[in-house]
Structure 1
Amino acid sequence: MNRRDFLGLTAAAATSLSLAPARSFAQGSAAGPEMKALCDYMSAARTRALPAEVAEHAKHHILDTLGSMISGSELPPGLAAQRYIRANAAPGKATIAGTTFTASPVEAALANGVMAHADETDDSHSPSRSHPGCSVIPAALALGEDLGIDGTHFLRAVTLGYDIGTRVVMAMGGADFSYESVLSTHSIAGTFCASAAAACVAGFDAGRMRWVLDYAAQQSSGFIVWRRDIDHIEKGFVFAGMPARNGVTSALLVRSDWNGVDDVFSGADNFFLAYAPKAATGRLVERLGERYEIAGTDIKKWTVGSPIQGPLDAIYAIRSKHSFEADQVRRVTVHLAPSVAAVVDNRDIPDICLQHMVAVMLLDKTASFHAAHDKPRMQDAAILKERAKIDLVRDEDLAKLLPVRVAIVEIELADGSRLSERVTAVRGTPRNPMSREEVIDKARDLIAPVVGRDKAEQLIKSVYEIESVTDIRTLRPFIQRA
Structure 2
Amino acid sequence: MSNAVDAASKTQARRRGPTLSRRDLGLGAAAGGVAIAGRALGETAPPSSPSLSHPGYDARFPAPGEKTAADYPVSPMTERLAAYISGAGHRELPPLVIEQTKWHILDTLAAIVAGSQLPAGRAGRAFLAGVGGKPVATVIGSTLKSDAINAAMVNGTTGHGHEIDDTGGASGPWHPGINVVSAALALGEQFGTNGTGFLRSVALGYDIGGRVGTAAGLLRNFRTPTVSVCGIFGATAAAACVARLSPEQTRFALSYTAQQSSGIDSFRRDPDHIEKGFLNGGIGARGGVTSVLLVKAGFTAVHDIFEGPANFFALFRAAGQTVQPELMIEGLGTRFDVLAAGFKRRPVAGAISAVLDSLEALLERRTIDPRRIAKIVVRYEPNSVTDNGGPPDANMQHAVAMTLVDKRLSFQSIHDRSRFSDPLLVRLRSITTIAPVTIYNQSGKYIDPSTPGRAAALGSKAPVIQLTMADGEIISQGDVPSRGESSNPYTREWIVEKASSLMTPVLGVRQTSLLVESVLNLEQLGNVRSLSALMSSAHGDTESRLSDWPLRTRS
TM-score interval (norm. to shorter):
0.7 to 0.9
Distance 1:81 1:11, change over 3 A: farther
Distance 1:151 1:329, change over 3 A: farther
Contact 2:392/2:399, CA 8 A, preserved across alignment? yes
Shift of 1:145: 0.5
Give the aligned residue type for 2:159.
Answer: A
Matched-pair identity in %: 36
The answer to whether the aligner puts 1:129 opposite 2:173 as a matched pair is: yes
Q: 2:125 aligned to 62, 82, 106, which one?
A: 82
Name 2:237's counterpart in structure 1: 196
More helix by share: 1
Name 2:87's counterpart in structure 1: 44
Deviations 1:48-97 (A, max 9, x none): 12112112221121111111111211222222111110000234110001
Shift of 1:363: 3.9
Give the aligned residue type for 1:163.
Answer: D
Name 2:293's counterpart in structure 1: 252
Give the aligned residue type for 1:342.
Answer: S
Shift of 1:224: 2.5
| TM-score, structure 2 normalization | 0.76
Alignment gaps of 5+ in structure 1: none
The answer to whether the aligner puts 1:138 opposite 2:182 as a matched pair is: yes
Contact 1:215/1:250, CA 8 A, preserved across alignment? yes
Cα distance in 1, alignment partners of residues 482 and 523 from structure 2: 31
The answer to whether the aligner puts 1:161 opposite 2:205 as a matched pair is: yes
Secondary structure of 2:110's aligned partner? helix
Name 2:70's counterpart in structure 1: 26
Distance 1:269 1:346, change over 3 A: closer
Secondary structure of 1:394's aligned partner? strand
Contact 2:361/2:477, CA 8 A, preserved across alignment? no
Shift of 1:24: 7.2
Cα distance in 1, alignment partners of residues 235 and 476 from structure 2: 45
Name 2:420's counterpart in structure 1: 378
Name 2:513's counterpart in structure 1: 457
Aligned residues: 468
Cα distance in 2, alignment partners of residues 290 and 468 from structure 1: 25
The answer to whether the aligner puts 1:105 opposite 2:148 as a matched pair is: yes
Q: 2:528 aligned to 458, 472, 479, which one?
A: 472
Distance 1:411 1:94, change over 3 A: same
Cα distance in 1, alignment partners of residues 236 and 129 from structure 2: 26
Contact 1:165/1:191, CA 8 A, preserved across alignment? yes
Distance 1:337 1:12, change over 3 A: farther
Q: What aligned pairs does 1:34-433 form with structure 2 within 5 A after superposition?
A: 34-127=77-170, 128-175=172-219, 178-179=220-221, 181-185=223-227, 187-276=228-317, 278-319=322-363, 322=365, 324=367, 330=373, 333-339=376-382, 342-380=384-422, 383=425, 391-398=432-439, 402-405=446-449, 406=454, 408-410=464-466, 418=475, 420-423=477-480, 427-428=483-484, 433=489
Cα distance in 2, alignment partners of residues 354 and 24 from structure 1: 55
Contact 1:114/1:237, CA 8 A, preserved across alignment? yes
Contact 1:171/1:284, CA 8 A, preserved across alignment? yes
Shift of 1:8: 4.9
Alignment gaps of 5+ in structure 2: 1-19, 31-40, 43-62, 456-463, 539-555
Moved more, 354-363 or 367-376: 354-363
Distance 1:26 1:158, change over 3 A: same
Shift of 1:307: 1.8
Q: Give the alignment's Cα RMSD to 1 decimal.
A: 3.1
Cα distance in 1, alignment partners of residues 397 and 530 from structure 2: 43
Secondary structure of 1:336's aligned partner? strand
Contact 2:439/2:447, CA 8 A, preserved across alignment? no
Cα distance in 1, alignment partners of residues 223 and 91 from structure 2: 36
Deviations 1:300-358 (A, max 9, x none): 101111221111122334456x364656985774433324x632233443212222222
Cα distance in 2, alignment partners of residues 377 and 70 from structure 1: 24
Name 1:442's counterpart in structure 2: 498
Secondary structure of 1:45's aligned partner? helix
Moved more, 118-127 or 208-217: 118-127
Cα distance in 2, alignment partners of residues 216 and 234 from structure 1: 20
Cα distance in 2, alignment partners of residues 125 and 50 from structure 1: 20
Cα distance in 1, alignment partners of residues 412 and 333 from structure 2: 39
Distance 1:368 1:180, change over 3 A: closer
Deviations 1:121-148 (A, max 9, x none): 2112245211111111110010000111
Distance 1:378 1:430, change over 3 A: farther
